[in-house]
């Protein structure tokens, strides 16, 4: 029974890696982006309690899973259930290059054009990863990785998936 948490900066390859793992090992996949935000403009975070309820619904429905995101506050909710964690610890430059080459994510954007319109904001967000102090920051991810007592791996390069 695999229960895997994948986390890192935006553009680090979390979604690509998680989809690969889910497809090749028959795991259910949850991208935390789909339940961390309210459908408002400008975007606002959903309450932790409401997100927790949705996460609990997902884990109750699936015996084996991979959950991915940059939200340490939400990953902490699953820390004790996880069998392993994967820290996508790529450089800022690698994350920016990945973001520029990202395929359309229809579960997040209504069109590729809408996604591309958000690219400059995303690149600035990626650049701030090491200086932020929030639950999306490098420091928060590093602490989460170091405190995890189970199986764990950190990747510092893009992973090849076929």
**What's the pTM?**
0.92
The DSSP code for 61 is H
Q: What is the structure's pLDDT at 162?
A: 59
β-partners of residue 44 are 38
Asked whether the CA dihedral 113, 117, 121, 124 is positive or negative, the reply is positive
Residue 13 and residue 88: Cα distance in Å, rounded? 7
Tell me: pLDDT of 10 over 70. Answer: yes
Q: What is the pLDDT of residues 91-148, one digit of tens each?
A: 999 999 999 988 777 777 788 888 788 889 889 999 999 999 999 999 999 999 999 9
Q: Map tokens 């395929």 to a residue.
A: 103
Question: Mean pLDDT for the chain?
Answer: 93
Residue 151 and residue 146: Cα distance in Å, rounded? 11
Helix (H) or strand (E) holding 160: none
What does the buried/exposed string (b/e) look like for 41-56 if buried means 16 or more CB atoms within 10 Å of the residue's CB?
Answer: eeeeebebeebbebbe
């Amino acid at each position: 029974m695999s229960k895997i948490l994948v986390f890192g900066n935006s553009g680090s390859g979390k979604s690509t890696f998680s989809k690969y793992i889910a497809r090749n090992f028959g795991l259910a996949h949850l991208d935390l982006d789909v339940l961390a935000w309210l459908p408002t403009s400008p975007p606002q975070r959903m309450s932790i309690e409401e997100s927790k309820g949705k996460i609990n619904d997902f884990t109750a429905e699936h015996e084996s899973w991979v959950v991915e995101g940059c939200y340490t506050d939400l990953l902490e909710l699953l820390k004790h259930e996880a069998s392993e964690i994967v820290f996508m610890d790529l450089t800022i430059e690698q994350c920016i290059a990945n973001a520029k080459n990202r395929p359309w994510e229809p579960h997040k954007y209504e069109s590729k054009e809408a996604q591309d319109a958000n690219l400059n904001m995303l690149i600035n967000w990626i650049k701030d990863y090491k200086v932020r102090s929030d639950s999306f920051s490098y420091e928060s991810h590093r602490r989460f990785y170091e405190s995890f007592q189970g199986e764990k791996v950190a990747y510092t390069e893009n992973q090849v998936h076929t």
